[in-house]
Amino acid sequence: MSFDLDALVAIDTHVHVEQDSSGCCSLDQELLDASAAYFKGHDNRTPTVGDLAEYYRERRIGAVVFTVDATTAMGHPALSSEEILDLAAAHDDILIPFASVDPLSGDAVPKVRSLTAAGARGFKFHPSLQAFEPNDQRFYPIYEAIAEAGVPTVFHTGQTGIGAGLPGGRGIKLRYSDPMLLDDVAADFPSLTVILAHPSVPWQDSAISMATHKSNVYIDLSGWLPKYFPTQLVRAINGPLRRKVLFGSDYPVISPDRWIASFDDLDIKPELKPLIMKDNAIGVLGLS
């Protein structure tokens, strides 16, 4: 990678590629509309890899980019992680590409290996969309392959805006995203870095406990404007989690501009902001 870390003002650890080069989107229109209504204002709901590179380069913010492969559970074809890796390689001054595999498919383990060989810097899972319990030992060979590759994992935790407001939430089950299911994974794979994506409402205390207890567990702060962070999360950021939390926006549903403006008003000790905005991510992502 050709990152100039000193030139970056921040690293956004949670950014979604929502459209591929042929114009296909990661979600069907009903789910896109429901997500847009839930999160309200956003810039471009379906950015491509090229869109993201331009957007983040203008802001001098590095971006971890990925899609979610939930083909089996959602019945909707996933965007190609292979294409994302290929396109991101042309923007390696600003983009850090993660990949995604469908845990319910029969080829997840060989895909992990082929994707890491192709340049994946980590893997993204969304248990609620992918309809799997992450601590089910059927999925342990996937984590073993990722641990062997030495790259981190990001797991969606807590509430999701996808399906929000629809009858039955479009069948999406929140319980799969209880962070305590990942406590087993983090304990059984101590060399695997586990990033709990988002304030884990309604399980915030569990996430704080895990990140405090296990050195391989981190929290990214994406998906919520900081002004809505639970009080106990703000207290933990200022205390035991100062080196365990990462800036993330969840773009395109929340822009980094909105997130940072809200974060600037949060009661966070000034000396901790550089850690949260960039330095912690440098270590977790192995960029130094």
Whole-angstrom distance, CA of residue 87 vs CA of residue 128: 28
Give the pLDDT confidence score for residue 1 in this predicted structure: 65
Residues 17 and 48: beta-carbon distance below 8 Å? yes
Residue 27 has pLDDT above 70, yes or no: no
134-153 pLDDT, tens per residue? Answer: 999 999 999 999 999 999 99
Residue 197 has pLDDT above 90, yes or no: yes
* Selection from 74-78, 122-126, 161-165 with the highest mean pLDDT: 122-126
The bridge status of strand 194-197 relative to strand 217-220 is parallel
Residue 46 has pLDDT above 80, yes or no: no
Residue 208 has pLDDT above 80, yes or no: yes
Average pLDDT, the chain: 93
Give the confidence band of 3 by pLDDT, cuts at 50, 70, 90: confident
Provide CB contacts within 8 A for 85, sequence distance 6+.
Answer: 97, 99, 115, 118, 119, 120
Q: Which residue in 130, 144, 152, 119 sits closest to 49, CA to CA?
A: 119
**pLDDT top residue among 62 and 40:** 62
Whole-angstrom distance, CA of residue 196 vs CA of residue 13: 11
Beta bridge partners of 99: 123
Residue 181 has pLDDT above 90, yes or no: yes
Give the pLDDT confidence score for residue 82 in this predicted structure: 97
Average pLDDT of the residues in 168-191: 96
**pLDDT top residue among 30 and 128:** 128
Q: Cite the DSSP H helix spans in 60-97.
A: 71-74, 81-88
Give the pLDDT confidence score for residue 98 in this predicted structure: 98
Give the pLDDT confidence score for residue 126 in this predicted structure: 97
**pLDDT top residue among 3 and 263:** 263
Whole-angstrom distance, CA of residue 16 vs CA of residue 31: 15
User: Could you give the domains of the chain?
Assistant: 5-284 (3.20.20.140)
Average pLDDT of the residues in 258-277: 97
**pLDDT top residue among 74 and 2:** 74
Average pLDDT of the residues in 162-185: 93
Residues 5 and 282: beta-carbon distance below 8 Å? yes
Average pLDDT of the residues in 157-165: 87
Beta bridge partners of 139: none
Determine which of 37-51, 182-196, 255-269 has the lowest per-residue pLDDT on average.
Answer: 37-51
Residue 32 has pLDDT above 80, yes or no: no
Give the pLDDT confidence score for residue 47 in this predicted structure: 87
Residue 42 has pLDDT above 80, yes or no: no
